Amino acid sequence: MTPAPGPDARRRIAVEPASGRFEALRAGAVAAGAEIVAVEEASALVWADPKRAGELAGVLERNPAIGWVSLPFAGIENYAHALDTDRIWTAAKGVYARPVAEHALMLALAGLRGMSTFTRATSWSAPEGHNLVDGRITILGAGGITTELIGLLAGFGCEITVVRRRPDPVEGAHRVVAFDDRAEACADADAVVVALALTPETRHCVGAAELEAMADHGWVVNVGRGGHIDHDALLAALDAGSIGGAALDVTDPEPLPEGHRLWTHPRVMITPHIANTPEMGVPLHAAHVERNVAAWIAGGSLEGVVDPVLGY
């Protein structure tokens, strides 16, 4: 583990890669008492640009004195190559939970209410739709998105099942099921919402067994990562009519190629990974950076600490 820097050194924070569009993050760090410096002089690094994740390992190799690295997203699979146990790592866990939970609720309602049919229609169509009210909802994951989504569902009277690595209680959930029992947890679900970290263990965690267990009108909603759903199994279930449909904010690969069958399937709705837009997310991320920089300078506990071994 990199030795803890002294109080003066802790104030020296780098925000990289340098770009004017990340000014809100620099402003947040300064508001917390930081002095923004070049990475070669810094005790901590706020990595700002997710599109340049591949550069981070090299930056850290050249600057071994960096003791804390702040990553911009909750999901950190693109940074797995850079993770080590020599530094403290944090991610934006829960930071974007509210807008993403709102998007998940919108997708679930739209799917159950037949919007995939009605928005494609060019003439008056037959009625279809199912209630979310009093429905059976299964959520894979127990992080900030799930916490927010449970709160949003409170007025719908849903029976909520949460799937997590260990079946520890989750406030607001009617039951909690271990990850290995997720197919059973999806039984007769009106909606299955995927909102967890992508790791080797969770890749394709929604496959044929989970889809087969759902109600035949049920919708699977993915606001996690595209790799969580086995798309071959999903298309088979959609073609067979064994589920109502799929609402996907994330796909695998991403962006989803033009001509992919999911684009035109009548029971699929796709949004282009916009459950959290920059307009929504940048202020939330800047506030997160400000809180963590203040804690770093004071030698306190940081939000969103990552376990490099587990990968989240």
- Active-site residue (options: 175, 254, 265, 267): 254
Q: Is 159 a catalytic residue?
A: no
Element containing residue 60 per DSSP (H, E): helix 56-62
Here the tokens at position 248 are: 């996907």
Q: Round to whole Å and give the CA distance between 245 and 114.
A: 9
66 close to 238: Cβ distance less than 8 angstroms: no
Q: Round to whole Å and give the CA distance between 312 and 310.
A: 6
- Active-site residue (options: 12, 103, 225, 288): 225
Q: Is 291 a catalytic residue?
A: no
Reported residue count of the chain is 312
Give residues with Cβ within 8 angstroms of 149, minimum separation 6.
101, 104, 105, 139, 193, 195
DSSP letters along 10-28, please? HTEEEEES--GGGHHHHHH
Q: Is 254 a catalytic residue?
A: yes
Q: Round to whole Å and give the CA distance between 271 and 19.
A: 28
Q: Round to whole Å and give the CA distance between 152 and 158.
A: 11
Q: Round to whole Å and give the CA distance between 107 and 270.
A: 9
Sign of CA dihedral 73, 76, 82, 84: positive
Here the tokens at position 17 are: 């890669």
Give residues with Cβ within 8 angstroms of 254, minimum separation 6.
226, 273
User: Torsion over CA of 110, 111, 115 and 120, rounded to 10 degrees?
Assistant: 140
First to last CA, the chain: 19
Helix, strand, or coil here: 92? coil
Q: Which residues are catalytic?
A: 225, 254, 273
